[in-house]
Structure 1
């Protein structure tokens, strides 16, 4: 094996306590991320703002890491509080006109990728429902709802409840041909599988770091393609949104031309330092290698659970980092409680048990999960 994945387990002490299969929910963070935050805190404690320029320089380094992991340029990346914050900036900032339409699968998507679009109703924007009979958004289903009034398609790269992976390359081609903007909730893919916003022709992507990126909550990033940046008006502005931000002796209101215009005030340094360490770890291992490793682990889970008679999804060709299953003849709620008692971190989503391992999980851990399901006896 070219990548010693298991050598990274020491970075995640939680693995000594739990069988951690909930990276699609909230992931544990690493010792190096904690160390990065502590280093910044110690600096502030002992030196005040003496090294503020260093914090700023490091923040720009982290912006570059965020850009690199999705194939963007740093000028196209803004720090945001979370995925909802980024999607909201897009929804509130675009130049909507009464009669414009947004296509979104409101029955399937996580609320973060539904509510910002429904909130536009009072501006005359209509939400058109994308059909999802198989638990995912397909290019064909999107094509079926596009009209001359469609301005934007909003979709998750991977559906949080079903685990269905969206074919973003095909959807990007479709949207480009139709002259429609493509906005992606990327939280279930960035850090899990390779993401290339240029190859997929994505205009907007928002993701925060507390899931597959192995960072912490409260910090993430928003990608806005350079050619559409001028079309998005910042919903909030402050001193930092402007071209002469650090000159406090005059008022010079000229918005920055890059994505940093969406950062209105003081930086969330602890979060940025944590996310930076997390991104460095992921890039060190390699996104291709991570995606392949997670795929191996899911295939092992899939095989073992099917052998027990479980109904498992999604199918391998539609899969990213999530596997869901229904146990034969057992209550999902009761089995979930049984797993929780045995310190298996997992989720239940829309009536199915959801498992989401990361690259440092082992084949033995997948087998242990299968054995626990086998051992469960209802009642």
Structure 2
């Protein structure tokens, strides 16, 4: 995929380190740094800079739509995935008669809007629990009924890397909960795995992880079939069709679907960066990235098994992701040993998470496994 020469040129900050923490923060390629610098050049023009800002937003919308498999007017942007979920809650206007299904492998942003709603408007939240690190569709079936209004999932879990079999889930939801919408968080998938959830009702992602962008952006994809049901009612101006018309103080005509989620001035710096990052990934091809990185993930699984460590999610050769995580009683000492070798992973007390992207190499993985073996006295 990347040659030694192109990797060194595109990711000079990777020199001398083994970076396996993209699930938390990515390393942007040089072209993203250049795009942010270009934004600052345009911003320095004052109001004239907007002649460049808004066309960049449309360029970003175009390439983002391509990655999501949607039309350009089915894609929009906000400030982060948390904002997107709150706007989704605003659009749905659920009541205590409604039910929402969330998973215990999901990121908090996808679950908390339903838990923090005022009691008089709080839907019943049903928790779909994992079994041995994987989501069992048989157990989901027990949670679905005619009152289910939303099924919220992450395509790839931030916690352990488990990837949900989306097509089977979609078919089950449509059969057992025909009124339910399906929301999919692709933050831990977009830019790393080939997406298979284009027919979800809403797709949400942040911009600073596998997409190789920076903070300050949130991606929303809503196909036209779901636009009417998923038009937010939030105040603002950028999402209005009549923001500066003579009737603007008499009525607010909100653009439908995804476009309604861009309520205010775009985060131009984040979108300049995302535009450059996604075009960089597009040149390489997400299929090529997966083909390169998936065998490295498989090697991590095999290496952990050799060390008698059981990953928190089973290996999924047919439905892979970029994340492998494990628990151990000595993770603090393990992380210190890794850092001493310039190996960067996500460490939380009791858990280590390893993330493998297209810029990682077999050397990164072998160095990781050798250091783990030494730290564990193997």
Shift of 1:176: 2.2
In structure 2, the partner of 1:345 is 344
Larger CA deviation: 55-64 vs 133-142: 133-142
Instruction: Please give the per-residue CA displacement for 1:284-325, whole angstroms capped at 9, x wherever unaligned.
Output: 111111122221111122223323333234323454111123
Give the count of matched residue pairs.
Answer: 369
Matched, 1:109 2:110: no
Asked if structure 1 preserves the Cα contact closer than 8 Å seen for 2:115 and 2:122, the reply is: no
Matched, 1:32 2:24: no
CA distance in 2, matches of 1:150, 1:310: 38
Larger CA deviation: 7-16 vs 209-218: 7-16
In structure 2, the partner of 1:181 is 181
Matched, 1:322 2:319: no
CA distance in 1, matches of 2:37, 2:159: 35
Instruction: Please give the per-residue CA displacement for 1:142-177, whole angstroms capped at 9, x wherever unaligned.
Output: 112112211111111111112111111111112222
* 1:201-280 to 2 correspondences below 5 Å: 201-245=199-243, 247=244, 251=248, 253-280=252-279
Matched, 1:118 2:119: no
* 1:271-310 to 2 correspondences below 5 Å: 271-310=270-309
Instruction: Please give the per-residue CA displacement for 1:59-83, whole angstroms capped at 9, x wherever unaligned.
Output: 1110111111111111111102111
Instruction: Please give the per-residue CA displacement for 1:338-364, whole angstroms capped at 9, x wherever unaligned.
Output: 212332111135733110011111111
Where do 5+ consecutive residues of structure 2 fail to align?
none
In structure 2, the partner of 1:171 is 169
Larger CA deviation: 259-268 vs 273-282: 259-268
Asked if structure 2 preserves the Cα contact closer than 8 Å seen for 1:162 and 1:324, the reply is: yes
Asked if structure 2 preserves the Cα contact closer than 8 Å seen for 1:322 and 1:356, the reply is: yes
CA distance in 2, matches of 1:299, 1:9: 25
CA distance in 2, matches of 1:81, 1:278: 17
Asked if structure 1 preserves the Cα contact closer than 8 Å seen for 2:20 and 2:354, the reply is: yes
Shift of 1:215: 0.5
CA distance in 1, matches of 2:68, 2:349: 29
Asked if structure 2 preserves the Cα contact closer than 8 Å seen for 1:71 and 1:196, the reply is: no
SS at match of 1:78: strand
TM-score (norm 2): 0.91
Shift of 1:377: 5.4
Shift of 1:195: 1.1
In structure 1, the partner of 2:191 is 191
RMSD, matched Cα: 2.1
CA distance in 2, matches of 1:286, 1:309: 35
Asked if structure 1 preserves the Cα contact closer than 8 Å seen for 2:191 and 2:286, the reply is: yes
CA distance in 1, matches of 2:201, 2:54: 27
Shift of 1:248: 6.6
Asked if structure 1 preserves the Cα contact closer than 8 Å seen for 2:231 and 2:256, the reply is: no
Instruction: Check 1:124–1:310 CA distance in 2 against 1; reply closer, same or farther (3 A cut).
Output: closer
Instruction: Check 1:368–1:102 CA distance in 2 against 1; reply closer, same or farther (3 A cut).
Output: same
TM-score (norm 1): 0.91
Shift of 1:276: 0.6
Where do 5+ consecutive residues of structure 1 fail to align?
none
Matched, 1:86 2:75: no
Shift of 1:101: 0.2
CA distance in 2, matches of 1:67, 1:349: 34
CA distance in 1, matches of 2:148, 2:139: 14
SS at match of 1:145: coil
Asked if structure 2 preserves the Cα contact closer than 8 Å seen for 1:294 and 1:321, the reply is: yes
* 1:51-66 to 2 correspondences below 5 Å: 51-66=49-64
